[in-house]
Amino acid sequence: MIYLSNEQLFTPKDALELLERARSLVKDQEIIIRDCRVSRHHIEFDTSLPDHLELDTLLDPLKRISELVNYMPVVEKHMEKDDAIQYARRLFNEEKYWSSHEVLESIWKNSQGIEKDVLNGIILIAAALVHAQKDEDQVCISILKRALAKLMHAHYTYHGIDIDALSAKVSEMVKIGKVEWLTI
């Protein structure tokens, strides 16, 4: 995952154009740029680089779009549940929704009962906001409805996340049909 600086120069409406531009910058390489998502603070590129290529083969061309903020290899991290939830929460609040979703999914697999529903609800919210970052607001709203169904029986704070407040924010977005960035 590659993160370039944005500082609100680009919006989710620019995601497809940025994806095409990034792909054209590396078209002569064996690099795959799968997706582009735009947050208020960064442009996120989901990429694959063959083992025989150096990372700079990808990073240098992308710097023509914007300054490199950081990059994160996508590997499954094995963390204690509390640490994983706090890490996922930090990623979510940095608008790195795809990465947050991935971290939470690793915990969700081993959870049960209402905790499984709560985690699934938060995962769905992250997934919905991934679509918002690609200017797919209707898809986002549809997924947010599914998230609300998962959270409807949880009325407590889960590892510092106020589920009632989160549900209220998501419910308002669904009601008015307008996506807003949120934190957990």
The per-residue pLDDT for range 81-122, each reduced to its tens digit, is 999 999 999 999 999 999 999 999 989 999 999 999 999 999
Residues 96 and 165 occupy one common structural domain: yes
Residues 110 and 156 occupy one common structural domain: yes
How many structural domains does the chain have? 2
Residues 115 and 47 occupy one common structural domain: no
Say if residue 75's pLDDT is above 70.
Answer: no
pLDDT tens string 142-153:
999 999 999 998
pLDDT for 86 equals 96
Residues 14 and 89 occupy one common structural domain: no
H or E, element range at 113? helix 113-132
Residues 92 and 169 occupy one common structural domain: yes
**DSSP E strand boundaries for the chain:** 2-5, 32-38, 42-48, 68-71, 157-158, 161-162
Residues 27 and 113 occupy one common structural domain: no
* Residue, of 136 and 7, whose pLDDT is higher: 136
The whole-model pTM stands at 0.93
Residues 63 and 95 occupy one common structural domain: no
